[in-house]
């Protein structure tokens, strides 16, 4: 069962070959055995999960099952879930129990899925290695000396280690795609606004987007069917009709135009990653695709633009954590100002403080025009580069990350090197486009390599088709780490 697709699990549940309670208990037992070493989960609640599974079994018995009814899903700890501790990986929210469900959580509840628990993450989604979490670093199941990527590293680890059937993540600058690549799984960030941000703890509101993480594109399509949809509670939610993302999975790729940006294959890309990506491109040629050389000239500015805009939005969003209404409050203070100062100083970690200070600086009088407004102008140019590119091609491909997973602690003292881990993913968020990562082999050190697929706005069904057809003729997505008890 642990290596079954979501479709196979759904069929087994509907055929009563296994119950949701039995399947949920299987995963809970694995979490109990493996999570102490991997640290993928922050919170589990077996009683609540099994109660949901029991309710799902009743729906299955009554013939009222939906595709994901009874299937255990892990939720990134950035989504509020009623009655569940929701920490966002921070001391600031270490004891916060959400009083309501995020839209994403409600969608899965309505689909009859089982919430297995909340996965570890970089604090307030700020990081590329899952080392900034207040609850400790997550280990990569392929090599426990390596990082799993971030900020959705706990979710990626849980999927790769078979500690859940699938998981949710969020992507602000690559935080679904990069950990998916480093952990050898599939993950998609949909077009900005297609998944509601209601109840998703904000980092950078114009960039944050929720998406699914699973082992295959077929699984992602089923998950996206549940997650998407208009939500009037989110002002950025797009009023679009629901789509069936499974509909085009089996279309042939003859005539598909794949754009290869020269900027994605320049200096800085590891040779073993380039080799895997080029081999994947060769497979697409065999499937009937044609290659188009393109350029994204302003993509080189994506990282500096992102690290002006994202911290600026974070400094505003995180001002709500002041020790007054909820969250951590310093135990000792003499007046209100000192309570604010001590609560924030003690409640936030180093990376979060760094970004708040940068964001406050670029928004301050005298620097707003020089930094923030200039970054917004370049953001527009980056989006225009993609618009021009999609006049020549249907999808864009390249590496997801410039290297395979780096070692724990390797980049902790050099924030700039850490930030460059997202050099190929950030531009997609700045433009609001959909992007995904799928397994594309293994590097020279045996660690996974990810292939990034970027589509035009609302092209998720095409991207999933492109990924699925590749996965029908390759096996990287079926590979599992050793030492996980399979």
| pLDDT band at 124; cut points 50, 70, 90 | very high
Range with lowest mean pLDDT among 53-62, 77-86, 114-123, 406-415: 406-415
**101: region left, alpha or beta (phi > 0 left; psi from -120 to 50 alpha):** beta
- Rounded distance between C-alpha atoms, residue 351 and residue 412, angstroms: 10
Q: With a cut of 90, say whether residue 423 has pLDDT above it.
A: yes
The predicted model gives 80-93 an average pLDDT of 98
Query: Looking at residue 417, what is its pLDDT?
Result: 86
- Give backbone dihedrals phi and psi of 455, rounded to 5 degrees, phi first: -120, 170
The pTM of this model reads: 0.97
| pLDDT band at 73; cut points 50, 70, 90 | very high
Output the average pLDDT for the chain.
Answer: 97
Range with lowest mean pLDDT among 101-105, 206-210, 367-371: 367-371
Model confidence pLDDT, tens digit, residues 388-400:
999 999 999 999 9
- Rounded distance between C-alpha atoms, residue 147 and residue 133, angstroms: 12
Query: Looking at residue 216, what is its pLDDT?
Result: 98
Model confidence pLDDT, tens digit, residues 239-271:
999 999 999 999 999 999 999 999 999 999 999
User: What tokens were used for 62?
Assistant: 């009554």
Contact 25, 32 (CB under 8 A): no
The predicted model gives 433-461 an average pLDDT of 98
Among this protein's residues, is 437 annotated catalytic? no
Query: Looking at residue 457, what is its pLDDT?
Result: 98
The predicted model gives 404-428 an average pLDDT of 92
Q: Say which of 128, 151, 315, 343 is annotated catalytic.
A: 151
Query: Looking at residue 412, what is its pLDDT?
Result: 84
Q: With a cut of 90, say whether residue 97 has pLDDT above it.
A: yes
Instruction: Please give the domain boundaries of the chain with CATH numbers for all domains.
Output: 6-253 (3.90.1300.10), 303-378 (no CATH)
The predicted model gives 45-53 an average pLDDT of 98
Query: Looking at residue 416, what is its pLDDT?
Result: 82
Q: Say which of 19, 20, 49, 76 is annotated catalytic.
A: 76
Task: Annotate 278-336 with DSSP letters as a single string.
Answer: HHHHHHHHHTT-EEEEE--GGGGGHHHHHHHHHHHHHHHHGGG-SSSSSS---S--SSH
The fraction of the chain above a pLDDT of 90, given in percent, is 96
Nearest to 379 by CA among 307, 443, 438: 307
The predicted model gives 182-205 an average pLDDT of 98
Q: Say which of 90, 133, 152, 175 is annotated catalytic.
A: 175
- Rounded distance between C-alpha atoms, residue 281 and residue 249, angstroms: 19
Model confidence pLDDT, tens digit, residues 140-175:
999 999 999 999 999 999 999 999 999 999 999 999
β-bridge pairing 41-43 and 166-171: unpaired
Among this protein's residues, is 364 annotated catalytic? no
The predicted model gives 135-144 an average pLDDT of 98
| pLDDT band at 415; cut points 50, 70, 90 | confident
The predicted model gives 22-33 an average pLDDT of 98
Among this protein's residues, is 353 annotated catalytic? no
The predicted model gives 291-317 an average pLDDT of 97
Model confidence pLDDT, tens digit, residues 326-369:
899 999 999 999 999 999 999 999 999 999 999 999 999 889 99
Query: Looking at residue 384, what is its pLDDT?
Result: 98
The fraction of the chain above a pLDDT of 70, given in percent, is 100
């Amino acid at each position: 069962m642990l290596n079954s697709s979501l479709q196979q699990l759904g069929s087994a549940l509907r055929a009563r070959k296994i119950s949701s309670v039995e399947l949920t208990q299987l995963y809970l037992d694995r979490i109990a055995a493996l999570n102490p070493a991997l640290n993928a989960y922050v919170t589990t609640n077996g009683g609540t999960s099994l109660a949901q599974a029991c309710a799902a079994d009743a729906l299955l018995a009554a013939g009222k099952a939906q595709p994901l009814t009874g299937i255990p899903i892990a939720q990134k700890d950035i989504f509020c879930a009623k009655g569940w501790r929701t920490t966002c990986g921070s001391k600031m929210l270490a004891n916060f129990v959400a009083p309501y469900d995020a839209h994403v959580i409600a969608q899965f509840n309505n689909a009859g899925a089982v919430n297995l628990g909340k996965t570890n993450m970089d604090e307030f989604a700020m990081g590329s290695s899952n080392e900034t979490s207040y609850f400790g670093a997550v280990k990569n199941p392929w090599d426990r000396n390596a990082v799993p990527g971030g900020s959705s590293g706990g979710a990626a680890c849980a999927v790769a280690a078979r500690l859940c059937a699938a998981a949710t993540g969020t992507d602000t600058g690559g935080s679904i795609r990069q950990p998916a690549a480093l952990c050898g799984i599939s993950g998609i960030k949909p077009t900005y606004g297609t998944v509601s941000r209601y109840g998703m703890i904000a980092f950078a509101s114009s960039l944050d987007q929720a998406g699914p993480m699973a082992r295959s594109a077929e699984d992602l399509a089923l998950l996206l069917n549940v997650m998407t949809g208009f939500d009037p509670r989110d002002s950025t939610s797009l009023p679009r009709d629901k789509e069936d993302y499974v509909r085009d999975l089996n279309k042939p790729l003859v005539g598909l135009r794949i754009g290869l940006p020269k900027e994605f294959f320049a200096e800085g890309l590891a040779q073993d990653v380039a080799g895997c990506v080029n081999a994947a491109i060769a497979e697409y040629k065999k499937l009937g695709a044609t290659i188009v050389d393109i350029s994204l000239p302003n993509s080189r500015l994506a990282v500096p633009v992102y690290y002006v805009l994202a911290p600026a939005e974070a400094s505003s969003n995180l001002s709500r954590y002041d020790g007054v209404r909820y969250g951590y409050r310093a135990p000792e203070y003499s007046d209100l100002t000192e309570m604010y100062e001590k609560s924030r100083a003690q409640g936030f970690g180093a990376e979060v403080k760094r970004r708040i200070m940068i964001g406050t600086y670029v928004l301050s009088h005298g620097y707003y025009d020089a930094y923030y407004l200039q970054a917004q102008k370049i953001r527009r140019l980056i989006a225009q580069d993609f618009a021009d590119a999609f006049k020549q091609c249907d999808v864009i491909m390249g590496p997801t990350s410039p290297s395979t997973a780096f070692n724990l602690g390797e980049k902790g003292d050099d924030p700039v090197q850490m930030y460059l881990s997202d050099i190929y993913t950030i531009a997609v968020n700045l433009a609001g486009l959909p992007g995904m990562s799928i397994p594309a082999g293994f590097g020279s050190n045996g660690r996974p390599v990810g292939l990034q697929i970027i589509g035009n706005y609302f092209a998720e069904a095409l991207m999933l088709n492109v990924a699925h057809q590749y996965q029908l003729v390759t096996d990287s997505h079926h590979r599992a780490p050793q030492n996980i008890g399979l």
